[in-house]
Structure 1
């Protein structure tokens, strides 16, 4: 009976200690020491009580033999709990120290002032470029090229087959002659799936369409196609080859596209993610030497926080908040551009997923897809402001979908086999394939969110009248 009572006391004390540790409450070493000391005193008191009650030496001897191991076990168990607690606490303290050191480095870099000034300059470059005539022209050409490609390949490529057939039957040039080379080049472009080939073909058709299109009221004698000066393929301009093939005998083939393009307004053209990406990536790349060390530091800090704490946990939010507090809004905005629209920023993009770094879901307010309120993205003077806000809202705030994407990428990362010297080539191929898939998941999400919000732009005239320009 005595053994049962002592066992119950020992179990209750051990359970109390474990419960206090598991409850994640702040438990000091002093409290645990007092708890153990009280336990020992209780055990000693019980021992003394039993000695007083029992007169039989044999019973006393048996009781002592039973109690001493129990008390020793209780003390040992408590010691293990304290040691484990100290180890966990030490690891947590070490993690916090590491993160705080990274945050301090980030603050030191920013306090020098160079990053903040450079950030303002880069953001101005990006916004200016995205609002420029060159970018508008680029969008127009890409849009025409895409439509021309779809036109050629629709209905199992009926139009493409027809054009290629006419070229073969109606245009014979001496093999190896300049015109024969031009014919082969035209055939290659018509068969190509490359956007660059389609761009060149589309621009050539437009810039040589002036005279044949006159009868169709598509272009007028006093007008010039505004893309001519920006995009021109000099080795083909002086030849009548395109005019004598696509634009004369087969005029009906391209007439509809040219007419549609003439009537198209820039504000109605869907801007593609890749068009913005190309501009931002080039600008960020050219300035990377000045800002790269800052991006790398923030990336490492985010990666460390993500590796230590669960998304949306109290500790995670506290450390993300501390990091964000050091970074001015303009710099945070450049971090967004780096993450979303640059090749080198993909790693940072992964770490920012579901982080609430740019605000949580309550910080974004939309009405009919129009952003009404946001600390970072409410700037009507910035190009594609709503698209950026939408991406931040869907991918970088903590929500079910963004957390799912982050977890998918983490699972893929764990499947990567480290590169081994004996199988370097094979492992590198696996690693490259893995990187492609991982980046593609994230990239597809960016593109999807980018195209979700309808765009409104200032009107841009595709055709310009030289007489008006002279005024």
Structure 2
């Protein structure tokens, strides 16, 4: 049933209700009129028919009858008018309900229109915000390329910077670590230090002797000597111990000279020295296998100090681009969509960097005090992901630092 038919039906029902109410009102009025007229009509009618009529009091019995009859008419009139009132009130309530329903519908329609307008406005605003973001973002990308062009050699500069950093580590890094390592040894208690220096004093001589007699490649004679089966070597080792006790035992200045003379630099190219010594193994672990953060910072800061005038602007601009992405909201009502959009722009930014640029950025944020804010910005972003070439790492344990940047939950 359509709206027109429903409206027509309601109008017909309303007309019937109005006619019925009018009928009841008229009927009620008639009953009231009859009730009012009846006492006077009966009085005049019976006045001439009562033989001993003197006053109205002589009509007592007839009055009782009239009273009872009049009350019945009045009661009937009250019931009829009450019924009419109820019907009218029901109609008014129905009209009020219809008005409320219409108002509710209008309100719902207004709310719906407002919601649609809000969504349209949000889409428009989001589109404008994204356009503004992309305009600024790609302008910053263009600026990045212009900065790169100003660097002598462009992308090749970062390959040279990586090679220079390896050389600084080989020379300055070794001297720094060697000094720190020796200082740590000299902090030990006297008795422990005496035994340790004596062992190093003997083992360093043994290594020199073994290299001169047998070479460092595995062979049967070398194996026998290491097993203590070479009598000549064992005699020299004992003489070396006696010499240490006579000349150096307890002399800390002599201990430093001994440590300075030991060829730790020859151990850094192999993790398997011809002799097994805990101190030498610790040296290899701390310098070659698992260098610490302090050593890496020393090397990178030394390199960056030389190169800051060239690459400082480059890194600062990258930081600003990354910060701009991080602080932008693409969809405040949907965090997942927001993260997807950010990852897309992270990828676009990363695609502008060569493998060596990306690696040197990795070193800049990890091992530079000036890169600490950048590092915090890159946390949990997967920015480096699997895009770094591990064979180009300067330190073999650098991949452990990647955990900081990995997205939680991935």
What is the TM-score with the length of structure 2 in the denominator? 0.51
The DSSP-based 3-state class of the residue aligned with 1:80 is helix
* Other-structure match for 2:362: 336
2 CA distance for matches of 1:386 and 1:53? 93
- Whether 1:391 aligns to 2:389 is no
Instruction: Note the C-alpha offset of 1:265.
Output: 0.3
**CA 1:338/1:93 → structure 2, altered by over 3 Å: closer, same or farther?**
farther
2 CA distance for matches of 1:46 and 1:302? 65
Instruction: Note the C-alpha offset of 1:62.
Output: 2.1
Whose Rg is larger? Answer: 2
- Whether 1:354 aligns to 2:380 is yes
Matches within 5 A, 1:184-195: none
Matches within 5 A, 1:6-405: 48=7, 51=10, 54-55=13-14, 56=17, 58=92, 61-112=95-146, 114=149, 118-132=153-167, 135-155=169-189, 249-250=251-252, 253-254=255-256, 257=259, 262=264, 265-267=267-269, 268=284, 269-270=287-288, 271-308=291-328, 313-359=339-385, 364=386, 375-378=387-390, 380=391, 382-384=392-394, 386-392=396-402, 394-400=403-409
1 CA distance for matches of 2:305 and 2:5? 76
Instruction: Note the C-alpha offset of 1:98.
Output: 4.2
Deviations 1:227-274 (A, max 9, x none): xxxxxxxxxxxxxxxxxx989955774587457655860132343333
Contact 2:365 2:372 survives alignment (8 Å): yes
The DSSP-based 3-state class of the residue aligned with 2:370 is coil
Contact 1:125 1:283 survives alignment (8 Å): no
**CA 1:297/1:250 → structure 2, altered by over 3 Å: closer, same or farther?**
closer
Consecutive unaligned residues in structure 1, runs of 5 or more: 1-41, 163-212, 221-244, 365-374, 402-471
Instruction: Note the C-alpha offset of 1:328.
Output: 4.0
Instruction: Note the C-alpha offset of 1:354.
Output: 1.9
1 CA distance for matches of 2:93 and 2:252? 116
Instruction: Note the C-alpha offset of 1:329.
Output: 3.8
Instruction: Note the C-alpha offset of 1:350.
Output: 1.7
Deviations 1:347-401 (A, max 9, x none): 2222222222223xxxx4xxxxxxxxxx4314x3x35264444433x12232349
1 CA distance for matches of 2:368 and 2:105? 65
Instruction: Note the C-alpha offset of 1:51.
Output: 3.5
**CA 1:136/1:331 → structure 2, altered by over 3 Å: closer, same or farther?**
closer
Instruction: Note the C-alpha offset of 1:319.
Output: 2.4
Task: Write 1 or 2 for the structure with the bigger share of helix.
Answer: 2
Instruction: Note the C-alpha offset of 1:321.
Output: 2.4
Contact 2:301 2:368 survives alignment (8 Å): yes
* Other-structure match for 1:171: none
**CA 1:385/1:117 → structure 2, altered by over 3 Å: closer, same or farther?**
farther
**CA 1:49/1:66 → structure 2, altered by over 3 Å: closer, same or farther?**
farther
**CA 1:321/1:148 → structure 2, altered by over 3 Å: closer, same or farther?**
closer
